[in-house]
């Protein structure tokens, strides 16, 4: 809708970059405040490592998903500021980097993963807002209804489409507040896997209505399939940690 907010000489100010950067800044400030409640020393170092890996993974995931285009225009692969980031690439690369960092320094993974979970949900919500401005992750064409509006695709073609960006934004904000509520009420492991469950659900629902091109596994979009797998894994891990804590309570002295 408004991919360019303005320009300063020959420099264009892209709405996607501005909105996503604002989300990252607010997420870091929130994480700094929450860090007081968890035994997660050197959390900012872990955050920098995770963020750098997430940024690379986000771009790499997008480039792989749109390889037919980037094969023709390889010079645009490194143009991060114009948008084109993969949520799943960012999530998986960031978590992998965090896991390796905690292993390298002999620290527990879950306190850091729990600490970063509210910020991740906040950045995700801002990512959906950025996509609304940039017309990425647009919905399929549909008929008049409460979930539809006259919206553009990434090529600027307007049609009556599902409001996937707005739906994703609302569900991500709901996930954010739920994760924030859980943060001091359940264990670090439960907070993290609850965040994975909530955010994957918040992505799966609008994913079923999206119309932007993506790899498909049979009748299912690849992003929907990944969300379904993450939901299943998070439910299994929540059950596992719940049983583990139950055994620990049973073994504790009276």
Encode 64-104 in three state secondary structure. Answer: HHCHHHHCCCHHHCCCHHHCCCCHHHHHHHHHHHHHHHHHH
Q: Is the pLDDT of residue 28 over 90?
A: yes
Query: What is the average per-residue pLDDT within 243-247?
Result: 76
> String of b and e for 165-197 (b: at least 16 CB within 10 Å)?
bbbbbbbbbebbebbbebbeebbbbbbbbbbbb
Domain residue extents for the chain: 4-251
Instruction: Specify the pTM.
Output: 0.88
For 169-207, the pLDDT digits (tens) are: 999 999 999 999 999 899 999 999 999 999 999 999 999
Cα 237 from Cα 193, distance rounded (Å): 7
* Nearest residue to 15 (alpha-carbon basis) of 24, 3, 7, 23: 3
Which range among 41-50, 69-78, 114-123 shows the weakest confidence by mean pLDDT?
69-78
Q: Is the pLDDT of residue 223 over 80?
A: yes
Give the residue, 33 or 80, on which the prediction is more confident.
Answer: 33
Average pLDDT, the chain: 87
Q: Is the pLDDT of residue 40 over 80?
A: no
Eight-state DSSP code of residue 35: G
């Amino acid at each position: 809708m408004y991919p360019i907010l303005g320009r300063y000489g020959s420099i264009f100010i892209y709405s996607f970059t501005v909105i996503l950067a604002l989300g990252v800044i607010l997420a870091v400030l929130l994480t700094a405040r929450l860090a007081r409640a968890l035994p997660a020393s050197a959390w900012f170092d872990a955050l920098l490592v995770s963020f750098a890996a997430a940024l690379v993974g986000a771009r790499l995931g997008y480039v792989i998903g749109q390889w037919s285009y980037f094969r023709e225009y390889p010079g645009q692969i490194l143009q991060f500021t114009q948008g084109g980031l993969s949520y799943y690439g960012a999530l998986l690369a960031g978590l992998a980097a965090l896991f390796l960092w905690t292993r390298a320094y002999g620290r527990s993974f879950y306190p850091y993963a729990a600490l970063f979970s509210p910020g991740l949900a906040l950045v995700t919500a801002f990512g959906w807002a950025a996509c609304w401005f940039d017309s990425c992750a647009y919905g399929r064409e549909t008929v008049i209804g409460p979930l539809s509006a006259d919206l553009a695709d990434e090529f600027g073609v307007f049609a009556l489409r599902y409001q996937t960006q707005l739906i994703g934004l609302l569900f991500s904000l709901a996930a954010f507040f739920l994760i924030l509520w859980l943060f001091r009420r359940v264990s670090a492991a439960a907070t993290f896997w609850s965040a994975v469950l909530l955010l994957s659900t918040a992505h799966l629902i609008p994913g079923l209505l999206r119309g932007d091109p993506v790899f498909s596994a049979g009748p299912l979009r690849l992003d929907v399939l990944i969300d379904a797998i993450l939901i299943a894994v998070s439910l299994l891990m929540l059950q596992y940690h719940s049983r583990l804590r139950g055994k620990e309570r049973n073994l504790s002295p009276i």
